């Protein structure tokens, strides 16, 4: 899942994405996921933020 928004402070586009994985880190649909990675990147693709965690 991807999204795009404008950072009001820097006036640059920020790209957000969430990727879902199972216990063996295989990509899966959201409803079967046990693990997720959330990332935000600037308009050039440079990583600004990343969070990873288990899904209950």
pLDDT for the residue 51:
97
Q: What is the mean pLDDT of residues 39-50?
A: 92
Going from N- to C-terminal start, the domains of the chain cover 2-54
Q: Under a CB-based contact definition with an 8 Å cutoff, are residues 35 and 27 in contact?
A: no
d(CA 45, CA 56): 30
pTM score of the predicted model: 0.72
Banded model confidence at residue 13, pLDDT cuts 50, 70, 90? confident
Query: With 70 as the cut, is the pLDDT of residue 9 above it?
Result: no
Q: What is the mean pLDDT of residues 2-23?
A: 76
Query: With 90 as the cut, is the pLDDT of residue 1 above it?
Result: no
Query: With 60 as the cut, is the pLDDT of residue 15 above it?
Result: yes
């Amino acid at each position: 899942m991807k999204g795009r928004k404008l950072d009001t402070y820097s006036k640059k586009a920020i790209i957000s994405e969430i990727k879902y994985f199972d216990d063996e880190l295989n990509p899966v649909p959201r409803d079967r996921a046990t693990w997720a990675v959330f990332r935000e990147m600037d308009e050039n693709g440079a990583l600004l933020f990343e969070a990873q965690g288990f899904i209950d």
